[in-house]
Structure 1
Amino acid sequence: MAGLKSFHDFAAMAAFSAIFFTSSCKKDVVKDMDGETLPQKIRLDIPSNFPKATDDPDNPLTEQGVALGRLLFYDTRLSGSNKLSCASCHRQELAFSDGVARSNIGESGQPLPRHAPALINLAWAKSGLFWDGGSTNLESQAFGPLTSADEMHQNLSELEDELKAVPDYVKRFKDAFGTGVKSASIVKALAQFERTLISANSRYDKYIRKENGAALTDAEIRGMALVNTKCRSCHSGELFTDNGYHNNGIDSDFSNASLDGLFQGRSRITYNLLDLGKFKTPTLRNVSLTAPYMHDGRIKTLKDVLEHYNKGIQVSPTTDVLLFQNNGEAGIPLSLQDKSDIIAFLNTLTDEQFIRNTKFNKPNLP
C-alpha cells in the first residue's frame, strides 16, 4: 500500500513511546535525524470489560493519522459532487448509522441494496466488513463507498488532486504518512479514525464494571438474563457480536440473481452454498439508536425484531441451528413480558457519551 514503506522507514529511525489515546496523556514529540516530526504512535484506551484489541501492523494508529481521518470522514470533497461525506450516512447521534432502511442520497439517487451499518467498535472487526464480509479490512472497505456509482462516485485521481490543492491537507498527509496525498493514505487515515470509535460507557458497562451508583432495574436485569440465554450465541461477549455470519431466517429463497447476488449473503463471497443467506452479526450496542434492522433495514422496530425471532423465522437449508429453540422447531419462544424485559435491557446498551464524544464529531475542515 502506498506510503507504507516510507512510514516504516521513518519509524525505524526512532523508538516510539507507547501512549494512550486520551486527552490527559502527555505525548512526547519524536523527530527523525533531519528534525522532521515523526508520527506519534497511540494505542486505544481499552475498557476493563473489553477484550484486547490488536493494532494493525500495516496501518498503526498515530495521532496524526487519526486526526487526518476525522477530517476526511466529514469532508464532502470525498464525493464526486462534493455534496456527500462519510458522515452523511454515518451520523454520530445515531451511533454512526443513518436511520433509514436503504439510503437514496448517493450520487445516483437510487436506493442502496443494503442498510448502512453502524460504525461501532471496529477495532475488533477482524473477520470482514460489509454485510457479507466482502472486504477484509477497513482500508479496503473504504474504497467501496468512495467509488460506488450509487454512493460517493468519486474518481480517486481527481480526489487526490482536490486534496493536493489544500495546503493543510498536503502537510497533514506528509506528517501522518511521510508521503504526498495518495488514495491509499486516504483510506488508511479513515480506517485509523474509525478504529477509535469505541462505545463502552453505557449504563450496562458501568453496571458490569461496578462503577459507583451504577444499577439496573429489575426488568433490565431480567432482560439481561434472557439475552444471555437466548441471544448470546451470536451476540456474544462484551462486543455483543461474534463478528460472524448467520442465516437468521428472514428469507428462505435465494434464487433471485438480481443485484449481483446480494440476496445470497456470505455465499456471494465464499461461493459456498452452505453460506446462503448468511449475513454479518451486528452489535447490539446502541441498538436502540440504529433502527431499522437487518441487512436491508426491512424490520422497523426492536419489537418487530423480537417477533421475527419468536414466530417469523423462514426455514431454509442454511437457517442457523441456534434458532431452533422451540422444542426443535424454528423460533425463540418469547412472552410479552420477555419481549418487554429484553427491550428494557437493550436500552441500557445506549452509550450517551459515545454519541456526544467531541473527539468524534465534525471538526473545522481545511
Structure 2
Amino acid sequence: MRKPFSGKVIVRLFSALIFSLIFYFFFFTPRDFPKEDWTAIPSPERNPITTPGVLLGRKLFFDPLLSANGEVSCASCHRQDLAFSDGQSLGRNGVSGNQLLRNAPVLVNLAWQPAFFWDGGARDLESQVFSPLTHADEMGKDLKILIAELNSDGEYTKLFKKAFQIDSISSAYVARALAQFERTIISFNSSYDQFLKGDTTLSDLALKGLKLYRTKCNSCHTEGFFTDHSYHNNGLDSVFNDQYLGEKLGRFRISRDSSDLGKYKTPSLRNIAFSGPYMHDGRFATLEEVLEHYTTGVMKSKTLDSLLVQKDGRVGIALSEKEKKAIIAFLESLTDQSFLSNPSFGEIEVK
C-alpha cells in the first residue's frame, strides 16, 4: 500500500486534473486547425505566429548554415521520424563530435510548455534557441558570423522582410522565426485521442494499460499533454555531484534550492514508443527498462518524490509483468502516426 497523499500532493493532483480539463475544453486538435490559422496556438505578443514566420523558421530549422562547420542543423538532433528526438542516449551529432551531457529532448506541443531544457533553464522558446545554436558541442555558431551570412544572402533577407518587415536581420529575429515553427510542432492525433472521440477502439490490453496509467502514472504524466510540466526526482540516483557545470544536479542548477536536487522535467509520454532512449541521460533503452526502474530500481534520497514512497517505507511502484505489458500497450497507443510523417514538419524550400 502507498502512504496517504499529503496536502501538497493532493493540491498537485487537483491542479493537474483542472489543467487536463481546461486542455480538453479549450484547445483544438491539429485536425481542427484551418490550414493557416494559428490563433489556437499560444504565442507571446512580441512574436505572434504567422505563415511567413513559420515557413522561415522551418527553413532555418533544417539549414546547416546555422552551425559552425556548416554540417549540423537543428534537425540533426531532432528527427521527425523519432518524434523530434535523435535516438541516442547522449548524442555526438554536434560540431565538436563530443558526447553531450543530456539526452536530446523531444519537440512536441512546445507552445504550451512553461519552460525548456531538462532543468527548465529557459523560460521561452525564443531564449532557448541560443543555447544549442552557440554551444561548442552542439552547433557552435558565432552569432556575429551567422548574422553577417544571413544578411548577405538575398533569399534570406527577402524571407525575413516578408516575415517581420525588417530590412536588417538580427539574432533576435532568427530566434523568433525558429520559435514560430517549433510552436506548430503539435501532436494530438494518436489512437488514444481518436479513441476519446469515439473514432476508434483500443485493444483490451491497451484499455487495461490506460486504467493502470490513470492509477499509477497520471499524477506526473498528466492526461492531455501527458506531463505536468513540473520537475521530479524519480529515483534515478541517490548522490548528486557538481560535475560538468552542474548538469547532473537537476533543477537545482537553476533554482539553487536544495529541495530540487535530482529533479528533472517530466517528459511527455506522447509518441514515447519512438522517442527512446529515455530519461535525461538516456540511460534506459526500452520502455521495459523504464518500468523495471519504477518497480525495482528507484533509489532513495532526500528529494525523492513522495509519490514513489509506499506506506511501509519501500520505494517504487508495484507492477506485475502483466501490468507492465498492459501499460506499454497503452503507451504505444499514444503514437501519432500523422505527426511522425506530417509533411508540414519536413524540410522545405521557401521562396
Q: State the TM-score, normalizing by the size of structure 2.
A: 0.88
Equivalences for residues 267-282 of structure 1 within 5 A: 267-282=252-267
**21 and 171 in structure 1: CA distance in 2 versus 1, 3 angstrom threshold:** farther
Q: Does 1:119 align with 2:119?
A: no
Distance 1:252 1:124 in 2: 32
- The aligned residue for residue 287 of structure 2 is 302
- The aligned residue for residue 345 of structure 2 is 360
- The aligned residue for residue 189 of structure 1 is 177
Equivalences for residues 38-117 of structure 1 within 5 A: 42-44=38-40, 54-117=42-105
Distance 1:132 1:257 in 2: 14
Distance 1:321 1:71 in 2: 44
Equivalent residues, number: 322
For 1:345, which of 330, 337, 347 is the aligned residue? 330
Distance 2:239 2:109 in 1: 32
Q: RMSD of the TM alignment (CA)? A: 1.8
- The aligned residue for residue 173 of structure 1 is 160
Q: Does 1:158 align with 2:145?
A: yes
Report 1 or 2 for greater relative contact order, CA contacts < 8 Å, sequence distance ≥ 6. Answer: 2
Instruction: State the shift of 1:73 in Å.
Output: 0.2
Q: State the TM-score, normalizing by the size of structure 1.
A: 0.85
Is contact 2:47-2:176 (8 Å) kept? yes
- The aligned residue for residue 218 of structure 2 is 232
Instruction: State the shift of 1:21 in Å.
Output: 8.5
Is contact 2:273-2:287 (8 Å) kept? yes
- 3-state DSSP of counterpart to 1:185: helix
Q: Which amino acid in 1 is paired with 2:89?
A: A
Q: For each residue in 1:62-117, what CA deviation from the matched residue of structure 2 results, as whole angstroms up to 9, or x when unmatched?
A: 11111100000000000011100000000000010000011112122110000000
- The aligned residue for residue 130 of structure 2 is 143
Is contact 1:326-1:332 (8 Å) kept? no
- In structure 1, runs of 5+ residues without a counterpart are 1-19, 28-40, 45-52
Instruction: State the shift of 1:364 in Å.
Output: 2.3
- 3-state DSSP of counterpart to 1:264: coil
**223 and 21 in structure 1: CA distance in 2 versus 1, 3 angstrom threshold:** closer
Distance 2:49 2:162 in 1: 13
Distance 1:134 1:42 in 2: 27
Is contact 2:119-2:254 (8 Å) kept? yes
Distance 1:59 1:118 in 2: 22
Distance 2:339 2:210 in 1: 21
- 3-state DSSP of counterpart to 1:311: helix
**23 and 277 in structure 1: CA distance in 2 versus 1, 3 angstrom threshold:** closer
- 3-state DSSP of counterpart to 1:197: coil
Is contact 1:326-1:333 (8 Å) kept? no
Equivalences for residues 218-257 of structure 1 within 5 A: 218-254=204-240, 256-257=241-242
Distance 1:105 1:248 in 2: 28
Instruction: State the shift of 1:139 in Å.
Output: 0.7
**365 and 152 in structure 1: CA distance in 2 versus 1, 3 angstrom threshold:** farther
Is contact 2:30-2:187 (8 Å) kept? no
- The aligned residue for residue 15 of structure 2 is none
- In structure 2, runs of 5+ residues without a counterpart are 1-28
